Amino acid sequence: MSLNDLFLISPQLSMAGLGILVILADLVLNRKGLVGAVALVGLILPLSFAWAQLTEFPGLLFGSGAENLVPSDSILSDSLAVDRFGVFFNLLVVVSLALVFLASVDYVRALPRLKGEFYGLMLLSATGMMLMASATELITIYVALELTTLPLVAIAAFLPNSSSSEAGMKFMVIGAISSALTLYGMALLYGFSGSTTLAGIALALGGPSEQGLAFGSYAVLVGVVVLTVGIAFKLSAVPSQMWVPDVYEGAPIPMVALLSVASKAVAFALLLRFLYSGFLPFDANWGMLLAVLAAVSMTVGNLVAIAQSNIRRLLGYSTIAHAGYILVGVAAVARDGSGTSDSGAFTTFGPSSVLFYLVAYAAANLTAFFAILVINSKIGSDLIEDYGGVFRKYRLPALALALALVALIGVPPTGIFVGKIYLFAAAVKSELVWLAVLGAINSVVSAYYYIRVIRTMFLDPESEAVKGSENTLQPDEVTLQPQGISKYGMLALTITAICTVLLGIVFGPVIQGAEGAVTSLPGILAP
């Protein structure tokens, strides 16, 4: 392996090395508070390497073209693609993780014996996420999926209570099932194509196929369907969504915050790269398959969220609904801007709408979870009824949570408002008008349960939990409630809240960067 090869995987290597360093630091440092500082400051290294890779492209992220920094004679040439698309998601993962670490300073303070493990496992999971965004080979994809999931399974069961144990167990069992399905789908594709690389699969699919049959072969059809169901686990989409509400309710809040944005984002990156790299000739087949999954996911997520009484479970079903919205952009496949299949080149409209929405969703969802982290540390409850009168005592966190919930509806001037317009316009352009209409209806339905939380915080009388929050809960072995919230948590909350609004006002550069990133995918025209 040459020095250039090490540079190509330097963001992933530095993230994994930082995770190991944090665990070792926890063993030797007497002041355990420094462990979090090492983890947070150490993120400068993978961020710097990712930025260094970005500077290798003409025009940085705002350029266009399918440049791949991995040379054909490299040992990594068939496994990874270091392009604008992968670097875009690497930057998103690192920034999201840094904000989560910043917001969780006080939360982790209540984990005196698990600080190193918490930070180390989060960093190792982030390593898998960064690898997943660049993987172009089935075995590499599978390793990245497992590296992303297993550390989060361990963190989900960190808290010594039944909810956390249930979250970890359900996450592990359903994750194992989805992993088996993913591996089975990969085996079918390998058996048909004789290759584990996406390029090799694409070459095999370009040969003779049975007319009138989806994906040209029963083996490929079954393989793609099974593999899609497996990947849906990472997307938090139907039919692999059963784990989401329990994990969101029982797992540590900082871990859920990272899971809800960074893990979901790289799963969509994997799906886009997989489909556009290996299955371009069958865009009509997988486009309709994903359109159906999008419709079912957004409808199930929104309808079940209405009945929730726990705000974290509510956000769990909300993330299922938003997975459906984002799948609209993946399903929106248009050729040459005409929506016809006469040309072999695709427009950036659908995929770039997915990337922009993921950024906007990350800002809004992190704001929501950071605000919940602050409020939970004060009142010690996640029940929506216990949020009654929260605004009267904790104005800034309540305002931030209200802003995040309004953003998740898709109300201007927030980034998700722009993202939904972008997604639904892409669906219309791809002749999926029915899906855009269903998405708009679901957005209206979602307003009910989001506004219910806002009304409770601002208009309801103070609950017993709020009245009793004068005496802040002490950390204990069951609830692990921190003794307040620090300036670091408020700083992270402020940053994400500002980004939520800014993305709805100054969205041009992010859209331009998303369009430049997706041109790295095969067959997509530069804007």
Place of tokens 């489909």: 275
Which pLDDT value is given to residue 355?
94
193: left (phi over 0), alpha (psi -120 to 50) or beta: alpha
Look up the pTM and report it. Answer: 0.92
Round to whole Å and give the CA distance between 75 and 334.
35
Tokens (6 digits) for 464: 């017993």
Q: How many of the other CB atoms lie within 10 Å of CB of 461?
A: 9
Which pLDDT value is given to residue 343?
44
Task: Give average pLDDT by consecutive 10-residue segment, the chain, 527 residues.
Answer: 86 94 87 84 94 87 79 86 92 95 85 82 95 92 93 89 88 90 91 87 70 70 87 87 90 92 92 83 78 94 93 94 94 60 62 93 95 88 89 89 94 92 90 92 94 92 75 40 63 94 92 89 72
Round to whole Å and give the CA distance between 239 and 230.
9
**Burial status of residue 431 (CB atoms within 10 A of its CB: 0-12, 13-18, 19 or more):** middle
Tokens (6 digits) for 320: 């299922």
Which pLDDT value is given to residue 288?
86
Longest dimension (CA), the chain: 72
Q: Which residues contact 160 (CB under 8 A, 6 or more apart)?
A: 477, 478
Length of the chain: 527
Nearest C-alpha neighbor of 82 from the set 155, 7, 184? 7
Q: What string of DSSP letters covers 84-120?
A: HHHHHHHHHHHHHHHHHHHHTHHHHHT-TTTHHHHHH
Q: Phi then psi for 380, rounded to 5 degrees?
A: 70, 30
